[in-house]
């Protein structure tokens, strides 16, 4: 039973990875155009998506305070592989800026906020 619970803790991360993969599989011609706000909306989606991914990885690791760096590493590796995946999608291209700066910022923000939430619950 404990083994099953450990496996189930990873379902949120797997779900988020599937959603990110699906969204990055959309060819650029099929992506919505938000006009003036396009860059902000799309980069904001990167930040939010990778914040959620990093938190779900940390959840999978049991919210162990010593493992948040591992969650960050997993999320960064996924961001890099996702950028590589986009190189095969028509009209999309890989961007190290997205993976390391935009996605990485989201990951850091998500883990920071979650650490504050977890610390608050302990008080």
> Per-domain residue ranges for the chain?
2-26+40-122
What one-character DSSP code corresponds to residue 102? I
pLDDT per residue as tens digits for the range 18-30 = 999 999 999 999 9
Identify whether the C-beta of residue 58 lies closer than 8 Å to the C-beta of residue 114. Answer: yes
As a whole number of angstroms, the distance between CA 51 and CA 112 comes to 9
Residue 122: pLDDT above 70?
no
CA 22 from chain centre, in angstroms, equals 13
As a whole number of angstroms, the distance between CA 114 and CA 120 comes to 10
As a whole number of angstroms, the distance between CA 49 and CA 13 comes to 11
As a whole number of angstroms, the distance between CA 107 and CA 123 comes to 25
pLDDT per residue as tens digits for the range 87-103 = 999 999 999 999 999 99
Which residue carries 């902000």 as its tokens? 40
Q: What is the pLDDT of residue 2?
A: 77
């Amino acid at each position: 039973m404990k083994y099953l619970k450990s496996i189930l803790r990873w379902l949120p991360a797997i779900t988020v990875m599937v959603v990110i993969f699906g969204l990055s599989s959309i060819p650029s011609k099929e992506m919505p155009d938000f006009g003036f706000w396009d860059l902000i909306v799309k980069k904001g989606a990167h930040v939010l998506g990778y914040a959620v991914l990093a938190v779900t990885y940390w959840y999978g690791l049991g919210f162990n305070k010593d493992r948040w760096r591992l969650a960050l590493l997993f999320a960064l590796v996924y961001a890099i592989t996702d950028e590589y995946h986009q190189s095969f999608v028509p009209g999309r291209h890989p961007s190290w800026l997205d993976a390391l700066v935009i996605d990485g910022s989201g990951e850091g923000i998500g883990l920071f906020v979650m650490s504050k939430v977890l610390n608050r619950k302990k008080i």
